[in-house]
Structure 1
Amino acid sequence: FGSADNIAHLKTNLDSSCPSLPPESAGKGLSSSTSLVGKPKYPSDDECSSGSTSFSADSNGNTALGGSSGGQLQQAGGDVHGKLDLYYDDVREIKDTQSQLEEDIEEIRTQFKKHYDLMSQTLQEEKYRYGRLEDQLNDLSELHQHEMTNLKQELASIEERVAYQAQERARDIQEALESCQTRVSKLELHQQHQQQTVQLESPNARVLLGKSINIMLAVITVILVCVSTAAKFVAPLMRSRYHVVATLVGVCFLTVFWKNWDRLQFALDQMLVPT
């Protein structure tokens, strides 16, 4: 009925439902039950003859013995029928338990199938997701490798470019140094030549230098005299604030008069000349 535990449980139910009988009575009951079950409904000719013989024997003086044996048989048959009813009840309970177990097993099987389908679906989804993630990882790996290759190529080209530019700069610096050295050497030669020329023309140069200095001193003297004369004229006008204001007003008036001199002259001519 499913497992060893269920068999042991059914065995205990049978033992508890059946009354405790001695082994001889149990064997006798079983033999009587088998004899009762095995006998047909209508007796045969031999059984009728044996019954008549037993009846005739009873008529000879043994009638009480036949009645007592019939009562025992009826009592044994009633016990057997009671036991059979108990056995039938036990079998019915076992069948009910078996049907209940089958229903439980079917329900468990249905639940297991549902769980199995759910797990299978989840596993398929996870498998599909894993495949997608693996594809994405492969794409990212390929993209990373491609980018690394491009970066390496760019670094190589940049290194070549930097090396070429460094060589060009070094060449330009070398050429500039060579040109500077050439110019320095030319300047040294020119300086040596000038020193030689100055050493040869030093008396004439001294005379010319003295004359030029005298001329410059004379010009500076004239300028200082002019400045001192102008300062003498301007000093009285700058003694106080009123003098400064009067001077500024006079300068402004002279400026305006100078700018409008043509108009004033035309006006004077108009006034002086009679119409």
Structure 2
Amino acid sequence: MNNIEMKYNFNLEYFEKSADYVKSKIDFKPQTALILGSALGSLASDIKNPVEIPYEDIPDFLVSTVKSHAGKLILGELYGRKVVCMSGRFHDYEGYDYEQLVAPVRLFKLLGVENMILTNAAGGINTGYKPGDLMIIRDHINLAGASPLRGPNDDRIGPRFFDVCNAYDEGLRTLAKSLAKECSLRIQEGVYAYQTGPHFETPAEIRFLRMAGADAAGMSTVTEALTAAHCGLKTLAISLISNMAAGVNNNRVDGEEVDYVAAQSAKEFKKYLSSILAHMESQEDE
């Protein structure tokens, strides 16, 4: 047994413990999973007939350490769909190893989830963007270079080597774009650059990323999207451009601007997401 196997033995049975516990608390199968970023944390309060499960109660799960994150799983109905929602996500900068970050998405898969929506707050790199825009993620650049699928692979979960050309599902992106006219926020589509944080990128890194084709940068989403691609979950990811990245203008990059823009945009972002959820069933039937 090698060192990684000794540290983490993330086989199917390991994640079934989490799934079995959650299944014991509900009497339905969730269709869609939601992992909400800074701009949409309040969406969880719209879930009807919610079943709330603190992360620390779920066997073999992780615990959020970000103060603004509630740290609980919420299951119920949202805009006509059965959902499982993470109120608080996990990040590399919290001290977790990459391999541990597969836990939420693998739980979703074992609960029977069909598709997943990820949201985040991101810094705008594309000079045509402005704070308050929404960006449908078409592709990503993994600046960290690491993968949550590192280590021993259980073929029952997904293949050792897997394709990520459609990690951000084309059908779901087409649906989201078709509904853009229903949203008062500007809808963009672009490439998300991932870095681990918790510091923001340097101006030199942003210049490099712009030359590489990135449109926005952030500290989440990519590990979740990769895990979903590995186990066959369709993913839609949307960034709120909460600020312009370092060096794009002369403004200092800080969390206060992120929180302010997120709060100002939350109502319209929620309305847009509700429309996407309401139309998902027709998209799945095509």
TM-score (norm 2): 0.14
Answer with 1 or 2: which has the greater Rg.
1
**Structure with the higher fraction of residues in strand conformation:** 2
TM-score (norm 1): 0.14
